[in-house]
A and B are shown apart, each in its own frame.
Chain A
Amino acid sequence: MTDFFGISLPALFGQLVLGLVNGSFYAILSLGLAVIFGMLNIINFTHGALYMMGAMFSWMLMAYVGIGYWWSLILAPLSVGLIGILIERLLLQWLYKLDHHYGLLLTFGLALILEGFFRHFFGVAGQPYAIPDELSGAISLGFMFLPKYRAWVIIASLTVCLATWYVIEKTRLGAYLRAATENPKLTQAFGINVPMMVLLTYGFGVGLAGLAGVLAAPATQVSPLMGSNLIITVFAVVVIGGMGSIFGSILTGLCLGLIEGLTKVFYPEASATVVFVIMAIVLLIRPAGLFGREK
């Protein structure tokens, strides 16, 4: 029993794992987008560029300073988060009273700037980033070989996603956050520093994107263009899931990664478009998204 409709089982499981890896990135990124949208009412187009910066930073740390993967895992998301805080203070805070469209337009322009800078200095060719020694190699599971790094990416992403979910849904800080999302004025009246919460939310959401970038660095080629195509797929994920629920974002991201992996096995030509096709179907059947609670 090594065949399944003419496809070898190890290949099938291999693609499923790869799908889960992609799904983890979708989950982290759409989670960040959802949290930011909840607080700032801005769709953060810069998310893809910041994900790219997370990966580029860890590559630069390795190439120029000799700092390895484990330290990058902390340093790169932190610096991306700090850049996010700068962006919020310098640019985004002037937009909150305006139409939603302007947030999208401004972050789009910002994404162009960041991507253009990195393209100018590093070119479009992908830079290799070695898998850390501890995580290279594969584990034999009997029916397939599971590369350790892929397993690590899935476990790390899921842990981060669930921790975020726990903080937002179960802690006091999360309760403030949810209150500020629901009604910022009233929350402020209760003595909670809402602008500070907004600032930290953006920094945190963007830091998640940076973390996804570091996790992606050894799994894919590190290139200035790696963010822009991904962010459009993540937008489709967000439309499918709806941004109302944290858990919904995580689940939708993982499922779509899996579906994409399956498509690669059975009908590779459609693997680039399957997420968009699903989005179209969801729009026809359930316009508000699977977990949406749009008015």
Chain B
Amino acid sequence: MKSYRSVQITYGVGLVLLLVAPAVIYPVLIMKVLCFALFACAFNLLLGYTGLLSFGHAAFLGSAAYLTGHALKVWELPVLLGILVGTGGATLLGWCVGSLAIRRQGIYFAMVTLALAQMVYFFFLQASFTGGEDGLQGVPRGTLFGLDLADDHNLYYLVVAIFVGAFWLIQRTIHSPFGQILKAIRENEPRAISLGYDVAKYKLLAFVLSAGLAGLAGATKTVVFKLATLTDAHWHTSGEVVLMTLLGGMGTVFGPVVGAMVIVGLQNELADKVGAMVTVIMGTIFVVCVLAFRRGLVGESIAFYRRIVGEKGR
């Protein structure tokens, strides 16, 4: 019971911090962090809880970003409907990519998702509606309930609402019977099969859900930056989300959020100071995490906490 209460307190503190943060920090930066945190949480649902390493999640972020941008700018849909279009599109794409990728296991799964995402990238590179190298610029944010979303502070609360809603959905999924089956597949797939579970169906569902939520993150990102670019769909972005999850701690609830905070913060600090060396720093974090730090920041902290307190307390 004690740990349950401490989790509730953490959620409460986090929510309060989120609500007062724009008074201290530039709201667009926090919104960027929230979008990437949602992206990483969606990814973690797949890697951390189902044991599937997708190296192509940028495809879902990118396609939702373009679809939402197109829906808001060209079709002039209201903002929520635009986000819905993007998320729906990414979900559909997730179903297509997922049903192909789950036909192979382990390392091949990662290669298949990477290759299919590259195909999506080339499609966006050549398609005329994406604006090619320039991207889709000047996407209008519109209004919601009479509030002008062009004001960063108004938009901020919409983004917080989307993030909290999606985060809650992910928590519910992880702790549901469905989530338990996903963990069983991660731990021992043959045993899950022998227990009579249709493993392929569960994997596909997890993939589609993860792709849809990644799409939601991409759609929201377009609204925040009024922009959808090729970077969103590039394999670098797929690598970034892996890094966020790995650095924060895969298979932990808050790991991806912490990872996204650190990586987005780092990029924000370093971008104009070191140029291409940002890639080198990201790569170094990758290597260090894999060699020495596989549980990630949150995972290692939990392990440390258990070592000094948990053993005696239990």
Contacts and interface: CB of A to CB of B under 8 A. Distances in A.
A239 B280 contact: no
Contacts of A137: none
Contact of B278 (A94, A116, A232): A116
A130 interface: no
Contact of A91 (B110, B116, B277, B291): B291
A279 B287 contact: no
A113 B106 contact: no
Contacts of A276: 115-116, 118-119, 122
B242 to A, nearest CB: 7
A102 interface: yes
B115 A236 contact: yes
A279 B112 contact: yes
A43 B100 contact: no
B87 to A, nearest CB: 24
Contacts of B123: 273
A205 B66 CA distance: 40
A283 interface: yes
Contact of B104 (A114, A273, A283): A283
A49 to B, nearest CB: 10
B280 A112 contact: yes
B282 A112 contact: yes
Contact of A109 (B111, B116, B277, B286): B286
A105 interface: yes
Interface in A105-122: 105-106, 108-117, 119-120
Contacts of B243: 109
Nearest to B288: A109
B235 interface: yes
Contact of B126 (A102, A119, A269): A269
Contacts of A283: 100-101, 103-104, 112
B309 interface: no
B283 A280 contact: no
Given A120-B276, A273-B123, A109 B106 contact: no
Given A116-B279, A279-B112, A280-B100, A106 B107 contact: no
A91 B279 contact: no
A236 B125 CA distance: 19
B235 A232 contact: yes
Contacts of B100: 280, 283-284
Chain A interface extent, by class? 35 or more
Contact of A105 (B106, B122, B246, B279): B246
Nearest to A240: B115
B268 interface: no
Contacts of B301: none
B280 A116 contact: yes
Max count, chain B CB within 10 A of own CB: residue among A105, A111, A119, A239: A105
Chain B interface extent, by class? 35 or more
Contact of B287 (A91, A116, A235): A91
Contacts of B55: 104
Given A276-B118, A280-B100, A287-B103, A43 B287 contact: no
Given A239-B111, A269-B126, A106 B290 contact: yes
B285 interface: yes
Contacts of A238: 111
A181 interface: no
A275 B108 CA distance: 16
Nearest to A37: B107
A282 B104 CA distance: 11
A110 B278 CA distance: 13
A106 B110 CA distance: 14
A115 B287 CA distance: 14
Given A91-B291, A95-B290, A119-B276, A43 B283 contact: no
Given A95-B290, A104-B107, A273 B119 contact: yes
B239 interface: yes
B275 interface: yes
A113 B283 contact: yes
Contact of A102 (B276, B279, B294): B294
A277 interface: yes
B176 interface: no
B71 interface: no
A275 B116 CA distance: 10
A284 B280 CA distance: 38
Contacts of A275: 115
Given A106-B291, A232-B118, A239-B111, 20 more contacts: A100-B107, A101-B107, A105-B289, A105-B290, A109-B282, A109-B286, A112-B282, A113-B283, A114-B283, A116-B282, A229-B118, A236-B115, A236-B118, A239-B108, A272-B125, A273-B119, A280-B116, A283-B104, A283-B112, A294-B108
Interface of B: 53, 55, 100-101, 103-108, 110-112, 114-116, 118-119, 122-123, 125-126, 235, 239, 242-243, 246, 275-287, 289-291, 294
Nearest 10 pairs of A and B residues by beta carbon: A109-B286, A112-B283, A116-B279, A113-B283, A116-B280, A276-B119, A119-B276, A236-B115, A287-B103, A120-B276
Interface of A: 37, 43, 91, 94-95, 98, 100-102, 104-106, 108-117, 119-120, 228-229, 232-233, 235-236, 238-239, 269, 272-273, 275-277, 279-280, 283-284, 287-288, 294
